[in-house]
Amino acid sequence: MDACTDRLEALLNHFPVRARMFHSGALCGITDFPAPDASGGGGAGGQMHLVRAGSLNILYPGSAPVLVDVPSLLLYPRPVQRRFVTDARQGAELACAELHFEGGEANPVVSALPDVICLPLDRIEGADPVLSLLFAEAFGQNCGRRALIDRLFEVVLIQVLRHLMEVGQIGGGMLAGLSHPRLRKALVAMHEQPAHDWSLEALAAMAGMSRSVFANTFRDAVGCTPGMYLQSWRVRLAQLALVHGRPLKTIALDVGYGSEAALSRAFKAQCGMPPREWRQGHGQGGKGGLRP
């Protein structure tokens, strides 16, 4: 495995994201985005706002206002209570999309991101052509525009994830590990081959590090031990399979456990309940959100 290994492919194959535009045009005056429904309803998605022109004040409860006065991207992986305030007459031009992450809040991309990401558009390397096409379609009337725009929002999200990994802007967790020039090789190996019997020595060799240096570096960067991370990844994959109704015995083999009993022990350690009980609470068909 070399340095060109795709750090996002396995993640996005297992946990894809779907975007759906819900606004394009001027946003004038006050627009509120309420807090998540406290009654539950797992799998609440995120939102992406692309500010093409104008200025925008963002108010968060208990925090100082944030002024956005250059073309920018605002990414909310999870619902966040906020208020957008723009000039009542001129407003600001935005294109906005709902983001639906497979697995809801258990999606490892969601859990790896901060609550809010704000980036000037000109800082997202390579995004200019995509953004130009997205804005042209969002503010035009071409046939098929909605389907095209939705896919373009998904492309922008991937470009943002690339940017965050390249600049090392994430302080910890999975994306911080994927940003590390050596650790990322071990992480990608676990993502791509969860059923492999990974030892600490084998993962350290993947990273080109000694066993002790790898273990310490991994814990410092990602925030947990390699063994804990591998268990968490396997359980997340098991959760996806459970809500799609797959047999527990098959799931156990696919995610690296030799038996249902072994998977059940790991699952309970991670989620606080065995897989069958967890599945009863989350349903099947993949429509409900997953919670770790």
Based on the domain organization, do 66 and 162 belong to the same domain?
yes
* pLDDT band, very low/low/confident/very high, at 287 (cuts 50, 70, 90): very low
Q: Is residue 4 part of a domain?
A: no
Q: Which of 146, 167, 188 is the last residue of a domain?
A: 167
Based on the domain organization, do 157 and 193 belong to the same domain?
no
Based on the domain organization, do 140 and 82 belong to the same domain?
yes
Q: Structural domain tally of the chain?
A: 2
Closest among 149, 150, 157 to 132, alpha carbons compared: 149
Q: Is residue 175 part of a domain?
A: no
Tokens standing for residue 146: 């909605």
Based on the domain organization, do 188 and 88 belong to the same domain?
no
Closest among 27, 43, 50, 251 to 136, alpha carbons compared: 50
Q: Is residue 287 part of a domain?
A: no
Q: Are 175 and 163 in contact (CB under 8 A)?
A: no
Does residue 124 surpass a pLDDT of 80? yes
Based on the domain organization, do 108 and 135 belong to the same domain?
yes
Based on the domain organization, do 130 and 214 belong to the same domain?
no
Which domain, by its residues, includes 252? 180-282
Q: Which of 137, 167, 197 is the last residue of a domain?
A: 167
Based on the domain organization, do 103 and 155 belong to the same domain?
yes
Looking at residue 77, its amino acid is P
Based on the domain organization, do 255 and 217 belong to the same domain?
yes
Based on the domain organization, do 156 and 184 belong to the same domain?
no
Based on the domain organization, do 141 and 270 belong to the same domain?
no
Looking at residue 268, its amino acid is K
pLDDT of residue 45: 81
CATH (domain of 79): 2.60.120
Q: Is residue 173 part of a domain?
A: no
Does residue 42 surpass a pLDDT of 70? no
Based on the domain organization, do 196 and 132 belong to the same domain?
no
Task: Considering only residues 290 and 96, tell me which one the structure prediction assigns the higher pLDDT.
Answer: 96
Based on the domain organization, do 214 and 140 belong to the same domain?
no
Q: Is residue 228 part of a domain?
A: yes
In this prediction, residues 51-72 reach a mean pLDDT of: 95
CATH (domain of 234): 1.10.10.60
Q: Are 43 and 289 in contact (CB under 8 A)?
A: yes
Q: Is residue 291 part of a domain?
A: no
In this prediction, residues 153-158 reach a mean pLDDT of: 96
With vertex at residue 13, the alpha carbon angle to CA 8 and CA 15, rounded to the nearest 5 degrees, is 90
Q: Is residue 137 part of a domain?
A: yes
Q: Which of 167, 195, 226 is the last residue of a domain?
A: 167
Q: Is residue 265 part of a domain?
A: yes
pLDDT of residue 107: 84
